[in-house]
Amino acid sequence: MAPEMYLTSQGKRKLSQHNNVQPLVTLGELYAAVNRITLFVAFEETDAESEANYQQIIFTADNAAIFRLDCSRDNCTGGGFDFAPVIDTMMAENETMAHGRLACAGALSHAESSCSLQAEYRIIIH
Ligand SMILES: [Zn+2]
């Protein structure tokens, strides 16, 4: 016999926030009022020879609600940029536009330093 489940929707949400293995929640499920989120990111290269790296990502209601980008540096491990906290704050404060900077917390493999690549972002919630 299958065990009975007592998971409320509130309990489920708590679980997904504290679990690193993310369940595939869609954007529409996470934020019912949102149609689309546009994320524009410009990675700031400190190396003068490399070209600026821009990315524009559009999340629709059917997309998985994973707002994380990998670091653009090949030799960076454990890095990346997580925009979920920014979007969470925007939703909580009813903001539709936000911009700012995040720094990569990864480590560079053949240098004993942290990556700290800067990413300038702009987020628009539709
Ligand atoms: Zn990095």
Tokens of 76: 């960076």
**What is the chain's pLDDT, residue by residue, as a tens digit (126 residues)?**
555 544 444 444 444 444 456 568 999 999 999 999 999 999 887 666 667 788 999 999 999 999 999 998 888 999 999 999 999 999 999 999 999 999 999 999 877 789 999 999 999 999
* Boundaries of every domain in the chain: 23-125
Contacts from 94-97 at CB under 8 Å and sequence distance 24+? 95/125, 96/124, 96/125, 96/126, 97/122, 97/123, 97/124, 97/125
Q: How far is the CA of 1 from the centre of ligand 1 (A)?
A: 48
Q: How far is the CA of 39 from the centre of ligand 1 (A)?
A: 18
Give the whole-angstrom CA distance, residue 100 versus residue 81: 12
pLDDT at 13: 41
User: Which 8-state DSSP code applies to residue 61?
Assistant: T
pLDDT at 108: 92
Q: How far is the CA of 70 from the centre of ligand 1 (A)?
A: 8
Q: Does the reported pTM lie above 0.85?
A: no
CA-based end-to-end distance of the chain: 45
pLDDT at 46: 60
